[in-house]
Chain A
Amino acid sequence: MSTTNTAPPLLRLADVSKSFGAVIALRSGSLDLAAGSIHALVGENGAGKSTLVKIVAGLYRRDGGILELDGRSVDFGSTAESKAAGIAVIYQEPTLFPDLSVAENIFMGRQPLGRLRRIDRGRMRAEATALFERLGVRLDPDRLARGLSIADQQIIEIAKAISLDARVLIMDEPTAALSGVEVERLFAVARSLRDEGRGIIFISHRFEEVFDLCDTVTVMRDGAYVSTARISETSVDEIVRQMVGRDIDELFPKTPAPIGEAILEVERLTRVGAFSDVSFTVRAGEIVGLAGLVGAGRSEVARAIFGVDQYDSGTVKVGGRRLRGGDPAAAMLAGLAFVPEDRRKQGLVIGWGVARNIALAIQRQLSSFGFITGRKENAAARIWASRLEVKAAALDTEVGTLSGGNQQKVVLAKWLATEPRVLIVDEPTRGIDVGTKSEVHRLLSDLAGRGMAILMISSELPEVLGMADRVLVMREGRLTADIPRAEATPETVMHAATHGAAS
């Protein structure tokens, strides 16, 4: 266990900030990592953990604040610089070169050299084997990295970090894709690295792991530091409270609507590697919130329902009729509409005008003999643009120039023009200002009131709790909870999102 001493911490961040244009990703990040310590960093999605890691890794340059290594101020301009300073980062998604061998992946750029600066493959292989032995795994150093399981890829990343002799090791959700045995193996390695005097930052949403492995925990919320505590002196409940930390205000007034029959029925939907055994129904007039952490598989489920992605087994029924998988056109005909997460890339044609974007999904109805006129487009679009109060100079204003909120309204208008029975919205208010946000919420509430079935994916707890009649929670590709509105609180939802099956 680490003890508090007067020596400067191995790594120190104080009041570090970073913004991208108008978006503030990190307001005030602080963290003191002691040598010989495993330090947990926890927080909700968007709390700024990843940004903080990327600053330490040299991917981003901080705008302000203090970043010190061994008490000396550092400023990394590239990942190479941070690596040279002894910092190794293991990202959530391992980043290997698929066409190169396992051994080369570990030693790229630092391969042992023989005569004539020739890479000494024999020694490289031997060193890789020694590393794997130390980690207690059997991996063929000559195998290509392509097709390795996430667990094995992570082991390679760790082997890389050890061979670098890194003093600071950052693991960003390393256990998300690992099985129980693999997690144990990883923890054993982490402990032995700690005992060698290295400092480890461990990012995880699994509290049992945090309490099992770490000695200190720092909580972040909304891009800022909240608190640091010794693990022995805190509890899960306290950490959750600090992570959520805010009260649910009355920003999102959901007007109660009569709830009708089931319209969207999803049964045992499975896509290998993304989600499995997901079953739920959405009824007419109902808003169902789908909560969970980033990477829990929520968007993947939505994409599979709408047919953007294929699924391996299970069924999707709309209005009692089975929907063919992998066919968005059939989904649209059946009355499904899907407002995707990334509206700029997936929801809009950025170079086109407002009217053409709105009319995009109903082109077939508008066209005669395969031709479509601007007049018809404008006529159809005008109705929806005014109903949603899209603020644009004209109907042919390029949507790329609109604000995020108005872009989202255009996407919504496009789908509402198809007069859907089921509306799936993925992060409907991400990156939208507060005023427009409540407009979108009012609109969704209004649509539900008229009998539409709405499935709303959101990472913002207040939004989910304020809007949803029922909250489904996903964790690591599985549905872990189905919480009625009355019982949904930040604690129950976060608990289900981080803890596995809730009772």
Chain B
Amino acid sequence: MNTFKRLITARETGILIAFAIVLVATTVRNPNFTFSGDGFRDLLVTPAMLIIIAVGQAVVLITRNVDLSVGSILGLSAYLTGQLFIGTDLPIPVVALLVIIFGGLLGLVNGALIALAKVPALVITLGTMYAYRGINVMWTGSDRVNASDFPKAFLEIGTGKLWFVPWLTIVAIVVLIAVAWVMRNTRSGREFYAIGSDPAAAHLYGLPATKRIISAFILSGALAGLAGLVYASRYGTVDSQAGYGLELDAVGAAVIGGVAIAGGVGTVWGAAVGALLLTTINRALPVLGIPDFWQRAVVGVLIIGAIVLDRVLAVRQARRLAKGADR
């Protein structure tokens, strides 16, 4: 009963229902949205990239930090992928590993600056967001990597599927399950929550806050690197603007999914479901005949709605708990 109740009232469930409503409404309007081969594939594969970076973002947010540089890390990683295939004969797994490590290193730069210089993450990652993008523009120029530069096998990962599930979707799901497991079931995972919930208490408790925060940024960076691979393999062309603006979609997805900006609250599942909803709405609105410029506004309404909902729920909970304490 308790488990059932928790499942019903969970934030993730609410977002899934919203997703279902969008899906049904759009499919009624245009059955191809779900029931054509391409439609179904897009439905599954499009959210993959955002899910991956939203998961990393959620971990960072849970520690009461934010990573605004993920869009730029994604762009650099995607371009690096192309360059590695052009310049070397390395096998695909080695390239993938190198790109992920590269993303992790960029994340390490963020984490180290934040932890050691004691500057808020918002400022540091805003800075590295521009810096990484700047490096990308300098490196790429007006050049770009084209589909012909990639090995065929690599591009097939982007289009192929296992039975009916696209490979990229499987990658996103594996990442999601692994991170969710760590966050729920390991000591270090719980320490992320503790540090975000009350940094002062974490200090008194003697938790290794610096280490955890740096590792959260490394994870976020590495996942942005992975998302760069996903981008390259799905789109086949990479210019200097790849992943532009995606960091805010990642934050938005996490917030919609119930991850609190103030830290300590939420799950990576929520962030993933938020990403699913966000990408699907973005694809559904044109089908529903809603003009282009309204689409961003809808995302805004969703985020504000999610925050207002959180606030209302928090106030109600506080009132209930206070009442309970009075008795």
Q: Spell out A's residues near B (CB within 8 Å).
A: 57-59, 78-83, 91, 95-100, 104, 108-111, 113, 117-119, 146-149
B134 to A: closest C-beta gap in Å: 32
Q: Are B190 and A147 in contact (CB under 8 A)?
A: no
A58 to B322, CA, bound (A): 34
Q: Are A99 and B190 in contact (CB under 8 A)?
A: no
Return the 9 tightest CB-CB contacts between A and B, nearest first: A147-B321, A80-B206, A79-B206, A99-B264, A95-B201, A97-B197, A99-B197, A118-B185, A97-B194
5 more A-B residue pairs beyond the given contacts A97-B193, A97-B198, with a C-beta to C-beta distance below 8 A: A80-B207, A95-B204, A99-B193, A104-B190, A117-B187
- What A residues does B207 contact at CB under 8 A? 80, 108-109
> How big is the B interface, by class?
20 to 34
Q: Are A99 and B201 in contact (CB under 8 A)?
A: no
B62 to A: closest C-beta gap in Å: 9
Q: A108-B207, A109-B191, A109-B207 are in contact. Are A95 and B324 (CB under 8 A)?
A: no
Q: Is B301's beta carbon under 8 Å from chain A?
A: no
Q: Are B187 and A111 in contact (CB under 8 A)?
A: yes
Q: Are A147 and B198 in contact (CB under 8 A)?
A: no
| Closest residue of A by beta carbon distance from B202 | A97
Q: Are A119 and B187 in contact (CB under 8 A)?
A: yes
17 pairs, CB–CB < 8 Å, chain A vs chain B:
A59-B204, A79-B203, A79-B205, A80-B208, A95-B200, A97-B194, A97-B197, A98-B264, A99-B193, A99-B196, A100-B197, A108-B205, A109-B206, A109-B207, A111-B190, A146-B321, A148-B321
A111 to B191, CA, bound (A): 11
Q: Is B88's beta carbon under 8 Å from chain A?
A: no
Q: Is B302's beta carbon under 8 Å from chain A?
A: no
Q: A147-B318, A149-B325 are in contact. Are A98 and B198 (CB under 8 A)?
A: yes
- What B residues does A95 contact at CB under 8 A? 198, 200-201, 204-205
| Closest residue of B by beta carbon distance from A104 | B190
A75 to B: closest C-beta gap in Å: 15
| Closest residue of A by beta carbon distance from B184 | A119
- What A residues does B208 contact at CB under 8 A? 80
A138 to B: closest C-beta gap in Å: 13
- What B residues does A80 contact at CB under 8 A? 206-208
- What B residues does A79 contact at CB under 8 A? 203-206
- What A residues does B282 contact at CB under 8 A? none
A270 to B: closest C-beta gap in Å: 15
A263 to B202, CA, bound (A): 47
| Closest residue of A by beta carbon distance from B2 | A142
Q: Are A108 and B191 in contact (CB under 8 A)?
A: yes
- What A residues does B193 contact at CB under 8 A? 97, 99-100
Q: A96-B198, A119-B186 are in contact. Are A148 and B325 (CB under 8 A)?
A: yes
| Closest residue of A by beta carbon distance from B200 | A95
